[in-house]
């Protein structure tokens, strides 16, 4: 059974990760046979292992927002998921019929939380509103004036407002001012201020370190000296090799042993990501995680592609794909200072490049644009069914690296 799932981050007003909305390619309905009730599904459902174990892989320790159709709500399928982790999203086309209200009320009494998706106020929705914890507004479909009218009607109710499709920092600030406390969209991955400013010398050194670590002819003895000569980097390296990702039975306490274990390619990856973490400042940690997911996903797709491409360059491209948001400097200005190949630079600038499609593929996947994913994977000569595995591995790798920065 092939399950295609992507995740979109949901941040709070301080741009800290709150959760992920999980986007399934064909919806969950296709994975639950009609002749199976909730109790039977617990023991018989083939995909139950994915939902019990894969949930941690996809969303880490964050909340998982999952859309449920009318049929799934009536069959109380959300009860298969851990109540501490999952937030039940009721789709906008689900009518508040008595059976739906009864089913949702039962789940709320059992400790589950409900979010109303793509919300438009109607009087008949009041029974659902009364048991909901979160209401989601699509900022592309609802004006702030309309949202204010709804807020007036909801006054006195303890409900969090979530703004969807927040694509710019200005939209984020406007939504904060309107009283929203949760935000979904890629606003955090865009530069906040595009004004003329120089790259600080410290940041420039870190950028050069990232670029050096990802050169084909990199001097690994030099990189090893960098690690050995920096207590902070050494500490992070030991945390990495002892993380869940490597699944070792015995703890690694030696820098030399750690370097042997991760190998030359691992040293390269590790240093570039440590350098990136030094650039973020007050930026959301999700920026680093998303960058690393893109880097690893592009690399894995490159390895599987029938086209000739340097997978190491694809990793570098993915890693630098959000650097303008991290530094709040136009990408054109940043690339002038970096010794990156022309193919990488062209791909990051959106110019014609053999590498550009790989970045477009990962962006389409993370947004759940499945038709585009299918088209791009075919163009790159990559088996579409291998993509969920690549995406899952990329997330697992990124989350393991996240541990060393906590």
Range of weakest confidence among 168-177, 274-283, 358-367: 274-283
Same domain, 154 and 214: no
Cα 356 from Cα 90, distance rounded (Å): 37
Residue 34 in this model has a pLDDT that exceeds 50: yes
Give me the number of domains the chain comprises.
2
* Intra-chain end-to-end CA distance of the chain, in Å: 35
Residue 92: the pLDDT is 86
Residue 175: the pLDDT is 93
CB contact at 8 A, 89 and 66: yes
CB contact at 8 A, 110 and 79: yes
Same domain, 86 and 51: yes
Residue 204: the pLDDT is 73
- List Cβ neighbours of 53 (8 Å cut-off, separation of 6 or more): none
Question: Has residue 259 been placed in a domain?
Answer: yes
pLDDT higher at 269 or 51: 269
- In tens, the pLDDT along 89-145 reads 998 888 889 999 999 999 999 999 999 998 888 888 899 999 999 999 999 888 888
Residue 71 in this model has a pLDDT that exceeds 60: yes
Residue 42: the pLDDT is 35
Ramachandran region of residue 57, left (φ > 0), alpha (ψ -120 to 50) or beta?
A: alpha
Q: What is the CATH number of the domain that holds 65?
A: 3.20.20.450
Same domain, 247 and 156: no
- List Cβ neighbours of 185 (8 Å cut-off, separation of 6 or more): 8, 139, 163, 164, 165, 166, 167, 171
Same domain, 148 and 217: no
CB contact at 8 A, 329 and 191: yes
pLDDT band at 61 (very low <50, low <70, confident <90, very high): confident
Residue 191 in this model has a pLDDT that exceeds 50: yes
CB contact at 8 A, 76 and 107: yes
Question: Has residue 127 been placed in a domain?
Answer: yes
Same domain, 214 and 117: no
Residue 49 in this model has a pLDDT that exceeds 60: no
The residue out of 189, 224, 259 marking a domain boundary is: 189
Residue 93: the pLDDT is 86
Same domain, 376 and 289: yes
What DSSP character marks residue 69?
-
Residue 39 in this model has a pLDDT that exceeds 50: no
Mean pLDDT for the chain?
A: 82
Partners of 10 in the β-ladder: 19, 184
Same domain, 236 and 139: no
Residue 233: the pLDDT is 74
Same domain, 54 and 95: yes
CB contact at 8 A, 160 and 182: yes
């Amino acid at each position: 059974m092939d399950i295609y799932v992507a995740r979109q981050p949901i941040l709070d007003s301080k741009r800290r990760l709150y959760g992920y909305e999980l986007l399934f390619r064909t919806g969950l309905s296709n994975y639950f046979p009609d002749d199976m009730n909730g109790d039977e599904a617990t023991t018989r459902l083939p995909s139950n292992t994915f939902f019990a174990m894969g949930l941690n892989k996809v969303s880490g320790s964050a909340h998982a927002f999952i859309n449920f159709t009318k049929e799934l709500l009536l069959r109380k399928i959300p009860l298969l998921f851990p109540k501490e982790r999952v937030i039940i999203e009721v789709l906008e086309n689900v009518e508040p019929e008595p059976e739906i209200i009864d089913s949702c009320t039962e789940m709320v009494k059992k400790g589950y939380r409900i979010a109303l998706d793509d919300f438009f106020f109607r009087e008949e929705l009041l029974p659902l509103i009364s048991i909901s914890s979160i209401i989601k507004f699509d900022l592309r479909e609802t004006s702030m004036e309309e949202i204010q009218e709804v807020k007036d009607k909801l006054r006195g109710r303890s409900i969090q407002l979530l703004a969807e499709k927040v694509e710019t920092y200005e939209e984020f600030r406007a939504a904060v001012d309107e009283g929203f406390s949760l935000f979904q969209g890629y606003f955090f991955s865009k530069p906040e201020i595009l004004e003329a400013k120089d790259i600080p010398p410290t940041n420039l050194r870190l950028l050069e370190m990232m670029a050096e670590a990802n050169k084909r002819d990199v001097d690994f003895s030099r990189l090893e000296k960098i690690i050995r000569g920096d207590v902070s980097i050494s500490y992070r390296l030991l945390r990495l090799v002892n993380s869940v990702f490597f699944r070792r039975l015995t703890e690694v306490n030696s820098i030399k042993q750690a370097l042997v274990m991760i190998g030359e390619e691992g040293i390269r990856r590790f240093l570039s990501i440590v350098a990136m973490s030094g650039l973020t400042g007050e930026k959301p940690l999700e920026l680093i995680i998303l960058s690393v997911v893109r880097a690893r996903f592009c690399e894995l797709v490159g390895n599987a592609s029938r086209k000739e491409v340097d997978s190491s360059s694809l990793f570098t491209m993915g890693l630098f794909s959000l650097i303008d948001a991290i530094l709040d400097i136009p990408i054109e200005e940043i690339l002038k200072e970096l010794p990156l190949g022309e193919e990488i630079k062209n791909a990051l600038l959106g110019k014609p490049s053999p590498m550009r499609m790989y970045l477009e593929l990962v962006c389409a996947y993370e947004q759940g644009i499945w038709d585009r994913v299918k088209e791009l994977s075919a163009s790159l000569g990559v088996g579409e069914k291998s993509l969920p595995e690549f995406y899952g591995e990329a997330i697992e790798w990124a989350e393991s690296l996240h541990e060393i920065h906590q």
